[in-house]
Amino acid sequence: MATSTPRGALSLAAALLTATIALYMALVAFGNITDFGTNQQFVRHVLAMDTTFKDEDLMWRAVTSRGLQDAAYVAIIVWETVAALVLIYGSWLWARRDDPRARRMSTYGLLMVMLLFGAGFIGIGGEWFSMWQSEDWNGLDAATRIFLFSGVVLIVNQLSAPRAQPPAS
């Protein structure tokens, strides 16, 4: 249920920052859907590990099956799309001043973004598939920026929650 109380600065910041991440994720998903081939090549090269140092102790991790590579890329796009939709809904709830539900939905969406960029791109892509070794197909800087930005927005979302009053003694 929407409240009629004045909006605090932190709630406004949470709303605007959530909308910013929602816009970013919607544009990323839209770009990957409408220009499927560009980032498809990125995912294929990272998973194939074909531009890494070719260390024989690591190359067993490479995924060279085009079908598996494409399935991973489609899964990424689906995850991006769902995260964007959750964040758009959270932004809409912020606009309606339904702060508790907005905070909850925004938290879900922001965690989805952080999992994608933190666990997916930084952890799995960067470390498991040694993306850090590639001069041409290294997305760690971009992934780190989005992970950190989403984390800051998540913190602002949580700081905007009303504080419980200690019981009177």
pLDDT at 116: 98
User: Mean pLDDT throughout 91-96?
Assistant: 98
User: Mean pLDDT throughout 17-40?
Assistant: 97
Token reading at 88: 């758009």
Per-residue pLDDT of 109-168, as tens digits, reads: 999 999 999 999 999 999 999 999 999 999 999 999 999 999 999 999 999 888 777 777
pLDDT at 3: 47
94 and 14 Cβ atoms separated by less than 8 Å: yes
